[in-house]
Structure 1
């Protein structure tokens, strides 16, 4: 004689089995989730690697770039470095309040910009110096627009007071004109948006400083 099985008991048993199976699958799923995370990480790495043809991993300036972007950074780094050297000479020599303000503005803006551009070049897998990549040309050394000669720097260092202020204003106007020229070339020919934004900033700030320096010259 068959034992009578209560339909309700059968349903409960089936439900229990289903729950146990779900727990087992969940445990397995958790393990595979780790695999998926690993796979996802691998995929992400692959995407990063794929984008590295435009800008290698670690770049602070993501996205595509071209030769004009590289040339802009390689040229503007030494250009900014010389502006900082000129600004440093103002310590103990400058007298005019307007000149001192320009000096402070140059130091505040250009040192961080140098660090940015160096990080871009590192991220792009390019050397900091154009000469290192075999491309000297107009951007190499004193051939860059607005760069001072060693004699210019010595002359500036030998002056104090109003004579220093006048010479500093004259030289910095020429120096800024060169930076604006290079930045406009980047605006026109560059591809990387972050580099082009910095070029916009250089044009804006240094054009304004040129105007101020001309006013200073007018009153000295």
Structure 2
């Protein structure tokens, strides 16, 4: 009887100690909580103002362009990039990171010694704002090609250095969409 009682006490103590042990292993974090790195943060922080400038440029088109193809393209850019901005802002919020780094939304130049890849300067934007008709169309297409090339480079950096699956998927989508738009704009410039 004593052996059964002692064995039962040992078993109960083992179960009790097991239940009172250290904290459980943490559950795998979702991609919005973990799995991101500094490259993912930089991608979102830089692509947001980059997209804001593209939207600013796209909004100039309806009142200045003489080409319905340019008007259509600008509308597609606006419809694609606005939701991407909101998506990236959501990531930054989930990651507990500020939405901006050195560039503020709507800003055209980074503070410091270098401009963000593909961003138009304030002078470029003023020049574009003053143009109308075919001159506007040519300037807008030239600038938007450069702007898109910058976004493609930023997205390629994210693919190479980022770790968040969502950010990398968006980078791939940006590369595919903007390379197609670059080809379209180059065709409009030739034709």
Displacement, 1:47? 4.8
1:144 aligns with 2:137: no
Aligned to 1:124: 95
Alignment RMSD: 2.3
Aligned to 1:78: 49
Check the 8 A contact 2:34/2:95 in 1, yes or no: no
- How many residue pairs match? The answer is 162
Q: Runs of 4 or more off by more than 6 Å in structure 1? A: none
Comparing 149-158 and 123-132, the one that deviates more: 123-132
Distance 2:35 2:177 in 1: 26
1:96 aligns with 2:67: yes
When you count helix as a share of all residues, which structure comes out higher?
A: 1
Distance 1:77 1:128 in 2: 8
Aligned to 2:181: 209
Deviations 1:112-162 (A, max 9, x none): 000000000000011111139xxxxxx935710000011111111111111
Q: Which has the larger radius of gyration?
A: 1
Distance 2:69 2:186 in 1: 11
Displacement, 1:184? 0.3
TM-score by length of 1: 0.69
Deviations 1:30-71 (A, max 9, x none): xxxxxxxxxxxxx9xx957x73xx76xxx4xx5401100000
